[in-house]
Structure 1
């Protein structure tokens, strides 16, 4: 007897999914290198279905970065400008751990910074309450952010493991001559000199803010 089904075809309603489902899948796949095909597979649809929610991969990447921005902690009332700057540094470091691959996107996707407008504005407003101009606030946030992200990029390289199971730090130690003035340390696979560099920047700003 017939079953009423067409051989080889699935019956029932098409699977439904939301924009958040697509974003979740992209972040799970890795914000730096997800593909729309991979995202579609994770949510159980064909690749073309993803275009019902997003126009392109860049459109989806922008949405992922907006999600990242929403996870950034904002300055609290009563914080000193130094505390605000340190919080910014801590948050830049933290979100890279929460969203693997983020630091690569920061340096490879030119529009990445456009997704943090509200976050940057909140930090700029907090610094403005201490007499800083928009230009000065932007300078400080950019200087500290660049410092933290570049350090994070180096740390992730040191943490990476090759096919033999050797880490980047181990390879660096093996290839560094004893006479070299810079000797790889275990801290290079952690925060390393991040906090020291941030403190150095803040110390400089305490002495002189650029006229911006």
Structure 2
């Protein structure tokens, strides 16, 4: 009690004017592989220390971002053939790379990243199981295709990136090769999906003849 007779309790602070979703969105907009707490805070108009009201560390934000990405991955529909299932998986891997800059680098540099899509992988494995494909075989195929697509996207990002002069990676490759005759033939497709679909179909054809297990 104070002199006026009113009870004195713990002072209630102002509620944060932002949500976990705001932080996740800001981190994705900054780039999953490069965002800083300061940059995220600046985007949502708060001080950097305010972020700790909702997340204890940068890694916690990364994990939350990966969960948000995983929630957007389309799952197989009933009745899909195994090739359709794997093509969809490859397409979804490419889409999330396109939608979320920096995602491939995070997947390869942040060890727990793969644990955020266990439910997605289980759903794809269950769909493949309808075609007598074991969980080990499904794991191999999903990993092989995912690695192929993510690695290809890393290369595409390098071809798209521009230096201080505005020259893209593709421009730099062309300049480095000059007029020399080489097996390399730089093409605009290097900045797009390029040979991704060809590689996916090559893998599917190989699986028709031999399907390893992990």
TM-score by length of 2: 0.89
Name the CA distance, whole Å, in 2 between partners of 1:179 and 1:59: 49
Structure 1 residue 179, shift from structure 2 partner: 2.2
SS for the counterpart of 1:197 is helix
Name the CA distance, whole Å, in 2 between partners of 1:86 and 1:166: 34
2:36 match: 35
1:179 match: 181
Structure 1 residue 178, shift from structure 2 partner: 2.3
Structure 1 residue 14, shift from structure 2 partner: 4.7
Name the CA distance, whole Å, in 1 between partners of 2:106 and 2:53: 24
Whether the 8 Å contact between 1:15 and 1:44 is mirrored in structure 2 is: no
Alignment equivalent of 1:207, drawn from 185, 198, 209: 209
2:67 match: 66
Name the CA distance, whole Å, in 2 between partners of 1:200 and 1:151: 15
Structure 1 residue 25, shift from structure 2 partner: 1.5
2:200 match: 198
The runs of 5 or more residues in structure 2 that have no matched partner are 1-12
Structure 1 residue 211, shift from structure 2 partner: 4.4
1:94 match: 95
The runs of 5 or more residues in structure 1 that have no matched partner are 1-11
Correspondence 1:1-212 to 2 at 5 A: 13-176=14-177, 178-212=180-214
Whether the 8 Å contact between 1:40 and 1:50 is mirrored in structure 2 is: yes
Name the CA distance, whole Å, in 1 between partners of 2:174 and 2:121: 38
Over aligned residue pairs, what C-alpha RMSD do you find? 1.5
Name the CA distance, whole Å, in 1 between partners of 2:96 and 2:199: 19
1:4 match: none
Question: Deviation string for 1:49-105 (max 9, x for gaps)?
Answer: 211211110011000000010111111111100000000110100111111111121
Whether the 8 Å contact between 2:90 and 2:149 is mirrored in structure 1 is: yes
Whether the 8 Å contact between 1:15 and 1:45 is mirrored in structure 2 is: no
Name the CA distance, whole Å, in 1 between partners of 2:30 and 2:187: 32
> Once structures 1 and 2 are overlaid, which stretch shifts more, 195-204 or 35-44?
35-44
Name the CA distance, whole Å, in 2 between partners of 1:129 and 1:137: 11
